[in-house]
Amino acid sequence: MKKIFWIAILVALFVPKANADEGMWLMSQIDRQLFELMEKKGLKLNQNEIYNPESIALSDAIVAIDGGMCSGSIISEKGLMITNHHCAYGDIHSLSTSEHNYLENGFWAMDMTQEMPIKGKSVTFLRGIADVTDLVNHIIDSLDAAGPRGLFFMNKVASVVDERFQSNPYEKSLSSEWRGSKYLLYFYETFSDVRLVGAPPAQIGAFGGETDNWGWPQHKGDFAIYRVYSAPDGSPAEYSDKNIPFAPKRFLTVSSKGVEENDFTMIMGYPGRTNRYSSSFEIKEKFEVLNPIVNSVRRSKLEVWKKYMDKSDEIRLKYADKYFGISNYTDYAKWENLCIDRFDVISKVEEREKMLLEWIGATPERLEKYGKVLDKLQKGYAMKADAEKHKGYFQESLVRGAEFIGIGQRFMGITRFLEREKKDSFDLSFPRAKEFYNIAKDLFASADVEADRELFKVMLGYYLREVPDSFYAESFKTLLQKFDNNVTAIADYIYDNSVVTDKARLEEFFSATRSVQDILNDPVIEVVNTISIREFNQQLSSIEKESGISLSEQRRLYVHAMYEMQKEMGMNAYPDANSTMRFTFGEVGGIDPRDAVKYHYLTTSKGILEKEDPSNYEFRIGDKLRDALEKEDWGRWGKDGVLYVNFMSDNDITGGNSGSAVLNGKGELIGLAFDGNRESMAGDLYFVEGYTKCVNVDIRYVMWVVEHYAGAANLIEEMVID
């Protein structure tokens, strides 16, 4: 899922007959009962072949990419790793130039010498898990006895836990499940020499673009291939030409057999974040306040960018990666709200809370511990609604708005460092000035000044309409009065005069010694000095202090109560996703999304040709792909004269699962998860039975692109194909 994280069958609380396969299970939760259910659905492996802390299992082929931003899997004994194209999008973009535009033309290494290292890229393997709940609770009690908890209390706890496991050679990460009801310690091994091996052009990897995002039918070849390298002794190492291809403990076999309806599927990956233990009040805030802000402001931002991207390939390349990243969550916010409304999620959670109230009221001990939780949550969220709205509009319009205005904060920051060092003048020998100068200069290569000028006009309009003037600094009020609140005039004044909005003015400014006042006189400072996020947070803190309600504490108690109730009532319960490895299983199948509409579970190459539109960037395919598709030479990757492209299953996923391997009952690779469907967009809050689907690229299409379109038979030869 683009930007895409998963877990849980809290649905058991909503729908008593919910199936146990709905969920993002901890690897340690795969018990005999769960395993027997998987066997009935088509699993052909034994339990230890999936996850085995004492030996080698499928989980040893599964990786977290860049700390869990995406998932991937190892597919050869020489360290080939496969994930989604949209997970590799930023890397491909960073390597692209106008002369070598790998986003538009694709990239294929025909031997290892052509593979391209990616600075900062990492791949992480899970090497073990330990339940340390009792130990952590003991440490917490000990630290509590020593004094009040500070801001970094849990960091202290994690540090003590780390000391207890010093003899273990792996990286360690402490994870809280159910907001502290259980603590697990994860052991990891991270490799940081990762090189790009193959990526199809955007016309394959991102076919359908924003239009098809979260939709069905889709026809994306959403994949990219990397190789993991290690030191000669097999240990993790920074990039070096002396490194060798990583030899994995386990790699996946690629299946050429394809999928049929009701086939068993399973996924292991690193879902980032779900909130299925959210209270009805928290969901209301997202539905009524946060999602509308994100959708409206970011959509306006994307419209400005697209207008300029359509004007030239040079501007498109500048904004391609940024547009891609922002558009995904913009659509998500829109469809999440539609699904919250359509599936009456808030009412269903309120019904769950009625059950919780009855359970709490059944004993005096529970009443003492949890009796006021729901009332306090309701009051706390109601009191901060307006303040949260103002903060949201500030963040989206000014903090995350126009980029040349955004770096104005860094420009202003130079003055703070000068004050700290008691200096009133500076030049490029001053480290903070040099750092800012380089950042500002680089921005001209990744952003268009005129596009940014128009964007600022739109963003400033949002800020003036939605944020009360009580948050405006006096200098900003003076600026508004000077231009009679005319956003166009204000924007033109700043962009025509500021040091940061013109490369020649920037270079001239930093070519001489300057004073603090020179910075303060810059027009951009009149905007960025208006307010800081700190003041919005202070308002929220004041509201919380006035109410006497700590929402973080009440949310913790709420989740603890839910967890205890589930355990006592024998319900299936898994914790929210938190970027640790999770397991989900289900079946291949289509969906009936609305009345009189049925969607098949497979799409074919025919659909690519049907959607082709040379006048629409998202649906152009180019002569090479068109000729290859029309030729219909599918080789071993077709079936009965048909090449299948994408398929749907009902695995439970969320962001972070992007690139996860979809496996059949024998543990063979049949596809890669890359998206959810629009009917599932409330899934991070609530699992809707029958409507939540996982959209996958069929591995047969991936292999056809590699072998027949790209001609990269060298990669196919590395893999084990069944």
What are φ and ψ of residue 10, in 5° steps?
A: -65, -15
**Residue 11 pLDDT > 70:** no
**Residue 7 pLDDT > 50:** no
What pLDDT, in 10s, does the model give residues 289-317?
Answer: 999 999 999 999 999 999 999 999 999 99
H or E segment at 454? helix 449-466
Give the pLDDT mean for 665-688: 94
pTM above 0.85, yes or no: yes
What span, in angstroms and rounded, lies between the C-alpha atoms of 548 and 628?
67
What pLDDT, in 10s, does the model give residues 325-336?
Answer: 898 889 899 999
Sorted by sequence, the CB contacts under 8 Å of residue 490 that are 6+ apart come out as 460, 479, 480, 483, 527
Q: How confident is the model at residue 669 (pLDDT cuts 50, 70, 90)?
A: very high
H or E segment at 62? strand 62-65
Closest CA to 219 of 642, 607, 617, 703: 607
H or E segment at 130? strand 123-131
* Domain spans of the chain, in order of start: 11-122+192-276+576-718, 124-191, 401-531
Give the pLDDT mean for 587-603: 94
What pLDDT, in 10s, does the model give residues 244-260?
Answer: 999 999 999 999 999 99
Give the pLDDT mean for 187-216: 96
Helices (H), 65-131: 85-95, 102-105
DSSP 709: I
Active-site amino acid positions: 86, 222, 658
What span, in angstroms and rounded, lies between the C-alpha atoms of 579 and 270?
5
pLDDT at res. 531: 66
Mean pLDDT (the chain, rounded): 92
Strand positions, DSSP E, 244-389:
244-245, 264-269
Do the beta carbons of residue 496 and residue 449 sit within 8 Å?
A: no
Closest CA to 571 of 28, 1, 15, 138: 15
Sorted by sequence, the CB contacts under 8 Å of residue 529 that are 6+ apart come out as 412, 473, 475, 476
Whole-angstrom distance between the N-terminal and C-terminal Cα of the chain? Answer: 27
Q: How confident is the model at residue 471 (pLDDT cuts 50, 70, 90)?
A: confident
Residue bearing the bigger pLDDT, 148 or 441: 441
pLDDT at res. 261: 96
Q: How confident is the model at residue 183 (pLDDT cuts 50, 70, 90)?
A: very high
Q: What angle do CA 264, 265, 269 make, to 5 degrees?
A: 160
What span, in angstroms and rounded, lies between the C-alpha atoms of 579 and 3?
13
Q: Which fold has domain 11-122+192-276+576-718?
A: Thrombin, subunit H (2.40.10)
Q: How confident is the model at residue 538 (pLDDT cuts 50, 70, 90)?
A: confident
Residue bearing the bigger pLDDT, 200 or 470: 200
Mean pLDDT lowest for which of 320-324, 501-505, 528-532, 614-618?
528-532
Mean pLDDT lowest for which of 15-19, 28-32, 85-89, 313-317?
15-19
Give the pLDDT mean for 559-564: 94
**Residue 84 pLDDT > 60:** yes
**Residue 14 pLDDT > 60:** no
pLDDT at res. 154: 83
pLDDT at res. 431: 93
Q: Which string of b and e fits 364-397 if b means at least 16 CB within 10 Å?
A: eebeeebeebbebbbbbbebbeebbbbbbbbbbb
What pLDDT, in 10s, does the model give residues 99-133?
Answer: 999 999 999 999 999 999 999 999 999 999 999 99
pLDDT at res. 528: 86
